[in-house]
Structure 1
Amino acid sequence: MITCKGMVLRELELPAPYADSKPLQLETVTLLPPKATDIVVKVMGGGLCHSDLSVINGSRGRMIPMLMGHEGAGEVIEIGAGIDDVKVGDKVVFQFAPSCGRCEMCQSGRPQICYAAVKARQEGGLLSGGSRIRGEGGETIAHHTGISCFAEYAVVNRGSVVVIDDPISMVDAAVFGCAVMTGAGAVLNTSKIQAGETVAIFGLGGVGLCGIMGAKASGAEVIIGVDLEESKRKKAEELGATHTFDARDPQLASKVADLTRGGVDVAVELAGAIKAMEGAYSVLRRGGRLVTAGLSPAGAQFGFEHADLVSNEKAVIGSYMGSSVPVRDIPRFLRMYHAGALPVDKLIDGYLGFDQMNEGFDKLAQGKALRQILAPHGT
């Protein structure tokens, strides 16, 4: 067993600023020994993501108490008895959608939407069954998406990591576990953008800017970034957007239509907001496709005119984790990073200690940060 520090969420929907209400509490937790198919990881970096924020603010409910964090990377320090393809000392990137390899989704080549993983996530446990985290007095604490990397150490299922052999700092490697896979993956995997196509990315946070980079790497002719924040639009231009627009512009659809001969081939929603979905649908040309990887609050509804969808042969496509196959895509995206095609290091605006985490989520909620990374053991 390991005793370590971790950030635990015990109450949902506490009011902002979080620096005052402190929804994340630094606690000493005990990690139970790994089962046969589990591994223990020394966490080197954990990225602060809007998916974490959506749990903290209650937009997407989860079991509590929960040790938070789903985007991260680290070094293996112990392996379960049934594992022979990972060794102590291996560098790994966490991925929040492990797969069983046996269910219908896995067998059809879509491991990111594995049935067994969904069940484990809903129960706050690991794919191998149950939680490995205990609080004071033996209290069971739930895992966040089977990872819980806002801690010094994590016990995870073998399927929740991808082993990498790469010179990247393991603190910075954290962003490949969510932002890169979701944003770049939505463009490169789900959208399947072809060279010369026109693209609009709605939502220019860390995930959306990875989408911008993915669109540039794909050879898109016109890349439009749409966001409420001017600073994020400027960052999008730095990373490859050919044009940007304020999401509040009432003439957005007509301006995009004028720019692209009637609308974009692909609109990608990465904001997790219904307004962004509506904006993305409005800028499609005939035959266009809308891909969405954002997660709106539970129960939110998106609507469109049915006749328009049919007569103009448009498509609306969901993209979970960028339709990524992590063991294929994390190494691929790392190669693109080193080649300069995915300069994701430009998204990192700071490294945090445990005592700065609540303030960090204030900055994220206010649009003042793209990717802050918890460094439990320092940088």
Structure 2
Amino acid sequence: MEHFLNSLTNPSEIWRSAFENQISELSKYLLYSVLISHGPIKEGKLIHSVKEMINYDSQRFNLSLRRGGFLNSLKELENTFIKIKKGLDTENYIEFQNPSVNDFLIHYIENDNDLIKMIINSMVFFNQLFTIFNPYNKTENSFSNYPRSMNLTHKIELKDKLKKTLERKIIRDFDKMKIREGIYEYQITDKIMYLNQFYDYKSEDLNHFLARKIEDVNINLLEADEPEEFVMIIHKLKRYLRLNVNDLMLNYIEHIDSLSGVRGLIELSNIYPEEYQLYIEYNKDILMEIIEGAIYADADNVDNNEDDIISFKSEVEDVCDFFNEKFKSTFDLLDEKLKDVKHEYYEDDFRLPIKKEESLSKKDEDLKIDSMFISLLG
């Protein structure tokens, strides 16, 4: 009775009994693989992940993976630990039957260093690195557009040795690991920016490694808000970098095409003030044309919403203050958009009562017609 009541207050106890006593070792590997994935995992990817785990542990245990054994594990786990659904691509997708399974597994493995080490070293995709682990005690931000980990209430903090294991995994398999499943393999910058969401830049080995990768980045491939984030990463790795800063400055400026890119340039000028001053001394007019063109294009794409326009206008004012420029055409455009938005609101407010009067008039007219029809019948 005591065990039953404890299960009601602590659902993980229900899973513990089944996990430890009722499923095979292969099924446990399968559950670990689902755990480190982002939501439902395709069957083919799951096989790949389980295979890597078994390959790692086969050094210590007599383990192997065969298709029949994998399918038996799926059957063993279905409708208890997992559910299987067909995707639009007709592939099978596997996910936990209930979020409490996820919670149970997190708590089950967090004090087992050997198990954590196995999971880290057998990860197949880059975006699995931080699904359940929070080695740097950082909160995910929404700045980046890259795949984020699941929104877990609890993640496993890694102590020094396990943190080193994770960092060695990143360095060793950085080029081999895709950031996620799919035909399209992300560029170096995508992995660096994904890592930037979690990493605290305190590891000398990883900092030196990332600095070498940053030096190979092609700025031409950066899109949207990526240049600004790229500059933030340069700031964090400045003392590890061996860059030709003048070339970096020139290349960055040539590819500014948004307000975010302009903000990135302001940050870059703070990181390398001498090189920035040297550039602007001979190229200020060209730079101002590039900047105004970039922010004008962004201003043209701002949603027709008063709050968005005012917010964007405030950001442009900050840019004007920094460069001591007016960028009149951009402000004219934003003022015109504001005027249009207010005019639309005014027209809407003006039209509403008219529609009401028209509706009442139509109702009166219908009543008159009904009255005439009744009198004719009489």
TM-score by length of 2: 0.24
Which structure would you say has the larger RCO, counting Cα contacts within 8 Å and 6 or more residues apart?
1
Highest Rg: 1 or 2?
Answer: 2
Which has the larger share of strand? 1
Which has the larger share of helix? 2
TM-score by length of 1: 0.24
